[in-house]
Each structure stands twice: as C-alpha cells, then as structure tokens.
Amino acid sequence: MSETLKTFIFVILAVVLAAAVYVSRPAVVEFKSEEMIGKQLFPKFTDPLAVKTLEIVQIDASGEKADFKIAEIGGVWSIPSHDNYPADAKDQMAKTAEALTGLTVLDVVTQNDGGNDTAALQAMYGVIDPADNAGDSAGMKIALGAANNEQLVNLIIGKKVTSKADGTAPDESAGKELHYVRVPGQQPVYVMEIDPSRFPADFDRWIEKNLLDISTLDIKQIFVDEYSFKIEVGLSDGGLQETLAPEFKGDMTFDYNASETGAAKWKPGKMMGFKGQNYQYYERKVEADKELNTETLDAAVSALNDLKIVSVLRKPGELAKSLREGKAFGKIKADADASMKKTGFYLVGIPDLKGDKTKTKLQLLSNEGDIQLRMKDGIRYNLRFGDLTGTESEIKEDAAKQPEEGQPDGSKTAEEKKTLGANRYLFITADFDASAIPVPEVKKIPEMPEVPKDTKPEDAEKLQMGIQKEIEAVEKENKREEERYKADIEAGKKRAERLSARFADWYYVIPEDVYKKIHLTEANVFRTKPKNEVPPPENKPDGEQEKPAENKADNLPDLPGIEQVIP
C-alpha cells in the first residue's frame, strides 16, 4: 500500500470520527432568559435525601479562596476538606438540601445574549465564580451531588437585592431575602428568594459540639500543671543544635462540686512548686493577700463543657496508632516526632522531678503546660496546650511545610509566630484512674449465736433461721456492691478506650479566646483580696521572720539529664 493511500485512509477515518463526536455531543439547550421567570432553576432536584456531597466555595475574610466539603463516605458523614474528620451532618445536611429544593426564578437581570458587558454585570451583582478568586465580586458557590457523582445543584449566590427594577425596595415583611444568583458556566443572572446564612461553611457548625462528651455535674477535680517548654535552635561547632528550654512552675488542684452554688462550688487543694537548683518539690501555700478567683474557674468549666474547635490536623499514622492502642511513645517514628514539634508538643526523657530525680521519665510535654479534668467515673482528660497557629490555610501549610535552614523540624520561626495567634493547637488524651472509684465497704457477716441449752427446739430454730436470713442478706449486699464496683471499673476502662480512639487521630485547633479561658495558671486563678479583707502580718521577734516562699523556678539552671527520645 502506497504512502498516499495510507494518508488518504487516515484522513477519511479522522473525518468519520469527528462526525461521530459531533453527532454524539451533548445537546445545547436554547432558551430565552425571560422565559425562566416563575420556573424552578433545578426542577429535577426534588429529594433532599438523595444528597451525598456538599461543597461550598467562597472568599474568606483574608481574601483567600475557602473550599469546604461534606461527603457521606462508607455510610458515615465526613469532612474531606479537613482530612475526613467525622461530621455531625445528618440532620443539618437534610435542612441544607431542603433549602435548595424548589428554587424559583423571580426575575432576570441579565440576558443570555453574550454581550460585552456580561462579565461586568456579573461582577456588579457579585456572582463571579469564587474559583476565579475575584475578591468582592465573587459569590458563594454551592454544589450538591448524588451518590453516583450526579450534580443535583450548582449555584452561585451573589449580592443581596436592595432595590427592584422600578427603584422600590423589595418586600421583606415576610422574612424573604432576595439575592442575585447565577448557574456556573451560564451567563444569565437571576433573582430568587434564598438565604446564604442557611449554608454555613464553618467547620465548627458541622461537627459534634460536646467534644469531650462530659457533663459539668460529673466533674470532680481540675489539676493544673503549670510549665512552659520550648526548643531553641542555635549554632554549635557541629552545625545546628537543639536545646530544650523548660520552665517548671508547679501544680495546683481544685475540687469541684456542681451541686453547690456560687464560690462554694470550688475548694483549693494542694499547691506544689519547685525551688532551688535541685528543683526541690515542695508544698506551698496561698499568699495571705490572695483568694480564689472562682469566676475564672467557672468560665473554664463552661468552655470545657462545650469545647469549641475551629479546625483539626491529622496526626501521623504511627503516632495515632500508639495513642489508640496505648503503646509506648518511645517506639514512634521520627515523622511523628517532627509532627509533634511543629505543633508545639515534645516527647522527652527528663528526670522525675516529683519523684526519684535519679531516674529518667518519658513525658509528653507541651509549649504552655497542661490541665487534667478529673471526672467522678475515673476518666481523666489531659489537655496539653501547644503552639500558635493561624487561619485555615496556614494550618494546612504548616502541615505540609518542609524544614528550612535554621528549622530542622520545619516548625515556625519566631518572626512567623508574631503574625499568628488567632488559634492554638490542643493535644487531648484520656485515661482511666481506677482509684477514683470508691472501693465498697465489706459489711461484716453476722455470726450464728450459741443457743442456750434450755432453749426450746422450735425457738432455737426460729433464732437460727432469723440469723441465717441476716447472713444471706449481708452476703447478697456485699456481692452486689462488689459486682457494681467491678462493673464501674470495666465501664471506666471501656469509656477510656473509646475516648482514646476518638482523640488519637487529631491535633485540635481552638480559638485563642477559648485557650485563655481553659489555660489555667496561678496568675489567673488567684486574685488580690480587697484591702479590708487582707489579714495583718503576724508579729514575730526579730530574727524569726519567715522568708517569702519561693514558689517559682524562675532563673534556674537548665535541668540536668534532659534528652530527646527521638533524634
């Protein structure tokens, strides 16, 4: 076959293929925009339960594009835009989808004529696709999808309609809110009744509210471990060197009784501190001119009861697995260690300052100390306060950030931290303290008395039967209390396992205002008494005056023996 013939055959095949493509192309629907008035924009979407995906795209307050997604994955609602964090979306998704059914066009403000001013008009009405990052001209893009990836709704909501074509204000007496809208890829701009506030794209609006799953009635005690912990990077002969810079201040315990009212709910427990170059652990007292600031403690309990998180960051798999299974931290990999450093948490071996200082104790420490919420059922929530972070985009950038010169672990520089502060990382763990469950008191078993010899047989039998019933009753009660105790222990262990699994995968991100409420310190839980309530100093002979208690470990030398577990 000649080359000319081959070329001719290829040309014929190309023409046939092009014709086939043209014939099978999707039909373009031709319509006049004004004919849409009174008609539904998405007439095929009638079943809100058919919705399996929701995507909301808009320009956030910082001028960046924000893409929020909800999807049903494997029968479970999740948030793909946040590492598939579990969503509490069943009811809210139904309400959102219902708000998008039966959308009716009330007016048409731009035609489907492809005029030169179409783009300018779309910008004026705020219906530019936010994917184009058009700033104030961009609207809110909402897309609903079905299980088979079928698109059910695709809509851009623009600016609010403030005046009609005749210059009069729209009727909002019935709570109606009119907005300009546009279908992506189409030119016409319509007017319809729709309320953008019914489509929240805030992470905290789509998740379970009570993160810790607690009731304030069940809180028994709050333990505060006040310290700060940093890693400082400097130069040495061998290059960059990390130095751990801790400052241990002490700890405080506060008993809580929700059945009391006012300040009576709180009672201060032990206060411990460190002093001297050897970090002597000692019990300290509240200064005479100080009193408990119960308003601060009440605010902390309220914030913990409804702990607000604004974002999450997924932990490395090995770290999450270790937390979920309760394995030793020392076996986690370097990527988990680097992940913790980025977010302000450090796994280190340090001397046991509250016990035998000659022994090294493996501890998970954080930038700004931690608190422990102790419950009546033995559950202990450990909340560790990590590093500052910023907006949603900064959180994602931080997760993917590669180490830079002077930053071995890829963590933020001091200059970067100056620009942050809107949010903070939180590391939550939970365990079970069996000692919090009261051990039942075993009642003494009555002894069978000796029957006098002159007792009639029937009387002796009655006496023995009565004592036997008492014995059986006590034995049953003892057994019942023992079973209750074992059941409480088993329930506490299982609950701790469920909570550990719940918290294992995530670094939580909390707003800075929430952090300030739950980050308890000596400075904010105690306040100066009114002058008329301060007791006069005790007079003592010269030379017997007590020296002020050294409550803080300020300006002390570096702790000996601190080492990193993972290089």
Condensed to tens digits (0 to 9), the pLDDT of residues 356-367 reads 777 877 788 899
Residue 565 pLDDT exceeds 50? no
Mean pLDDT of 90-97: 88
Contact by Cβ (8 Å): 57, 65: yes
Higher pLDDT, 238 or 287: 287
pLDDT band (50, 70, 90) for residue 563: very low
Nearest to 253 by CA among 283, 211, 214, 229: 283
pLDDT of residue 139: 94
Strongest mean pLDDT among 134-138, 176-180, 418-422: 176-180
**Residue 539 confidence (pLDDT):** 61
| pLDDT: which is higher, 1 or 49 | 49
Q: How confident is the model at residue 35 (pLDDT cuts 50, 70, 90)?
A: confident
Tokens of 244: 């751990």
Q: What is the mean pLDDT of residues 372-390?
A: 94
DSSP state of 258: T
Q: Which of 106-110, 352-356, 467-471 has the lowest mean pLDDT?
A: 352-356
Nearest in space to 447 (alpha carbons), one of 479, 476, 470: 470
Average pLDDT for 554-564: 39
Q: d(Cα 334, Cα 332) in Å, to the nearest integer? A: 7
Average pLDDT over residues 196-219: 91
Q: Half-sphere exposure (CA, 13 Å, Cβ side) for 238?
A: 2
Residue with tokens 């209750």: 484
Instruction: With a cut of 90, say whether residue 271 has pLDDT above it.
Output: yes
Burial (CB < 10 A; 0-12, 13-18, 19+), residue 50, is middle
**H or E element in which residue 362 lies:** strand 360-366
* Mean pLDDT of all residues belonging to the chain: 81
Dihedral sign computed on CA atoms, order 141, 147, 151, 153: negative
Q: Which residue has the tokens 């409804």?
A: 306
Task: Check residue 199 and give its pLDDT.
Answer: 93
If one compares 2 and 481, the residue with the highest pLDDT of the two is: 481
Chain segment 391-406, per-residue pLDDT in tens: 554 555 555 554 444 4
Q: What is the pLDDT of residues 62-77, one digit of tens each?
A: 788 889 999 998 889 9
pLDDT attached to residue 207: 92
What was the pLDDT predicted at 45? 94
pLDDT tens for 418-472 read: 434 479 999 999 999 999 999 999 999 888 888 788 888 887 888 888 888 988 9
Q: How far apart are CA 478 and CA 441, in angstroms?
A: 8
Range with the poorest average pLDDT among 124-133, 198-207, 399-408: 399-408
pLDDT tens per residue, range 305-327: 999 999 999 999 888 988 888 77
Q: Which is nearest to 52 in space by CA: 188, 187, 143?
A: 143
- What is the three-state SS of 405-461? CCECCCCCCHHHHHCCCCEEEEEEEEEECHHHCCCCCCCCCCCCCCCCCCCCHHHHH
Categorize the per-residue pLDDT at 103 as very low, low, confident or very high, splitting at 50, 70 and 90: very high
pLDDT digits (tens, 9 = 90+) for 5-32: 555 555 455 544 444 434 433 333 334 5
Determine the Cα angle at 518 with ends 260 and 531, to 5°: 65
pLDDT at site 541: 58
Q: Residues 273-304: pLDDT tens digits? A: 988 767 788 898 888 899 999 999 999 999 99
Q: Are strands 526-528 and 290-292 parallel, antiparallel or unpaired?
A: antiparallel
Give the three-state DSSP class for 166.
Answer: coil
Confidence (pLDDT) at 195: 93
Q: What percent of the chain has pLDDT over 70?
A: 77
CA distances from 420 to 424, 491, 511 (A): 9, 42, 11
Exposed, middle or buried: residue 420 (CB in 10 Å: 0-12, 13-18, 19+)?
middle
- Residues 339, 398 contacting (CB under 8 angstroms): no
